[in-house]
Amino acid sequence: MAAPDPAAAAVTIETAHGRHEERRCWVMALPPDCSRKHDCPGLAAVARIDAVRRIGGKQTTQIRYDALSRVLDPAEALRVVRAHWSIENNQHWRLDVALADNLAILRRLSLNPIRADPTKISMRLKRKKAAWQDGYLLKLLSQMR
């Protein structure tokens, strides 16, 4: 879509968390044979979203295109695309939090046998010794109950 008509665009403006975002969207219906011609079953329209983001004094501009399985009005296309990315972002956030929690548990569990070892060296040296010497690591693991 080259040089879209500004009057045909839907616009959203959001300001939050020190960030100002403005999005403009246009939707173009495709000819019926386009999905078959380009081997893209179900393709009915393309949405163009121009996004301008300002954080502090820095501004970035991004133009992206989204394939649509039905023709939507531009405001609805903005809502649908935004909802898709919020699902994606929430899923990644949950995975990151769960992974961080699991790693913290593993770290604490790995320190227990090191603390229980009566060898008179620092915790730091015990950790290094366990990494470098398989025999010492097996000794630590055999103490676990």
For 14-59, the pLDDT digits (tens) are 998 889 999 999 999 999 888 888 888 999 999 999 999 999 889 9
As a whole number of angstroms, the distance between CA 124 and CA 118 comes to 14
For 61-111, the pLDDT digits (tens) are 999 999 999 999 999 999 998 887 776 767 777 778 778 888 888 888 888
As a whole number of angstroms, the distance between CA 106 and CA 122 comes to 20
The reported pLDDT for the residue numbered 79 is 92
DSSP state of 30: P
**What is the phi/psi pair of residue 54, to 5°?**
-120, 125
The reported pLDDT for the residue numbered 1 is 45
CA-atom Rg of the chain in angstroms: 27
User: How far, CA to CA in Å, does 16 sit from each of 13, 32, 36, 92, 123?
Assistant: 10, 41, 42, 21, 45
Domains of the chain by residue range: 7-87, 97-142
pLDDT band at 3; cut points 50, 70, 90: low
